[in-house]
Structure 1
């Protein structure tokens, strides 16, 4: 972000440059008089999150019912990953806004002839923005594209299919144009064949597939692995319940929500990849919309018990929100304590001006480099742990290890003693190392 838009638009050595998010943050870092980059980098996520919250509730309530919109929004906004990405400067939060906009636009297109021009503009704009945030927008894009092609009937359906194919081709062309700087400066292979989307050996892929997604990914997305069973039941019976007991106008919404939830599955199987669970974060919202539609359909069939069911659902949603907020408060408090420990160890090392430091704590070398950048000074000569015997040479003034971890045997541990232990870190000093003047 800091070097400017030219670098942000073309640098893709690692698949963590969410390009559009970087371009949104850069003006804030460049022109804001406030010297708090950590806060400024989070403002676009916060602002777009508010837009998605209000706009999503209003539009979904207009296209379905206010109860469906309220329940889906309440459960989604307090889901584990929503709370995390509401305060994290990443592109996954804004991407959900694009997913919601594309989904709602597709629903307008499937419901009837009204508002198609605006809906196509929203669908294409949201899709291009979503791809420019993160290329894995391919999964939600497929979840809204396939229903547009499949669900139409008669002449109107044929016209909608043609329009969808033309609009999809337009999205692909615009996205390719936006990513041209990445192709020129960094190279297409790093964008299209990065480690997260590299095809795995078939035997390894099929052996690890189910354990990776259940319980790991389900827990990450929904908070509990056991929720995979209600989720499977919802996907199996939700559209049927809506088709049987709800008004016909709701059927496109049910099938669109179903497609938005399951669309990544055939794509992942065809690719032979297991990307991080956060790339499937967008599937939680359509799954909750489908749950709300199914509950609304059931309550219309059995009105007496249905009111009780909605009351229980509302209580469950509020209880879920309270639990998640309390959990997040504890998580943030622990993170602040760890950050204070990281800062204390960083200041302790800076005061001694070490020549060489061995960092064996995941992410701490990046933390020290970030602190050095904020303070406009060169970082210490850091090196990560090396396991090859042929390069286990030299000595280090200081070792930064996880608390409870002993210095590696190849460094002659009795030549080091623990000088500072704070939080999850422990800093060891070589016995003959003295602070530099």
Structure 2
């Protein structure tokens, strides 16, 4: 009788235990190499990924998730530790961020040389509950806000003010002759005067029956207040739109309180820019708005070059100062209608409404130069850094938020492959655009 190697039995037992654990696990589990090539996957993981691959095979986890989370490949590729968490509970919106969104929490762990374990959990119900909680909070806050500070008036079918009553003057200081015949923009604060906001508000009201917007307003005497404007459709008997009723409220006190809470929920604690989750919430709305009104929308994806080197040589506190400075330079260049968010680690994204590809490239290049010229004060002295940037624009080639982000991520990789410290992008006709001269020798960086 041949002797059985006990080590072989142990390995077979461990392998069988692993298979049993993966099969029975209540979460999706995928084993792959660092490039994402899958060699083991449990049935639940396949079930969660099936809507993304549309019946095709799941050979590479990053390819399967590329349309909704292109940044995951970058996170895994840039992770240089021997083992550890690449990302934890990273939210992936499989379908648009609305009430019925399918949302996965993705955690990727490097467990050995060139070996990743990815865990997927369906958190759609949790995200929907969070959204409903925020909506409930907003409604309750509205109920508790003083009802004394409000004005009621009406608009004609073209969205111009056609009626007036004393409540308007009490709240805003404007008399009848000041407002009748004008649009809602007559109440905007000077720095909130965006030409398309009032028409958009009316358009959304027509589509939905009613719509609420909040923004800074200004009284006739120059006092700023946070106004909440509810517009509802008035219809004639045959169903045609006869005009609109409007309620304008001063909710400044509520805004001050809610801003403090919102800042905690929507802001990256280190850099002060928007958090990743908040970015994806507002990005869907921006894409829908751009499509509805036929306006351009561009994004710029960027990350710090050789950031790990800074952490390793100067320490994590110095790395934090570098991230804060990059965020500060970005915020200093953007308009109030733009958004800058931290996607994770050293990666950021800018969302630029009403901005063409060439305009976005110009913004990206200004940011690249600003970061390159910055001297960052840290506990170990002044540091300098650079950033690589990828630009993409909403188009027939990139018609969704997911495809737009994937295009920007590809452009960012092009910038990195070109030597870093440069801008790369895709024009609407898919021809490459670039700006700046990339570093040819990375050894002198940072």
| TM-score normalised to structure 1 length | 0.24
| TM-score normalised to structure 2 length | 0.24
- The structure with the greater share of residues assigned to helix is 1
- The structure with the greater share of residues assigned to strand is 2
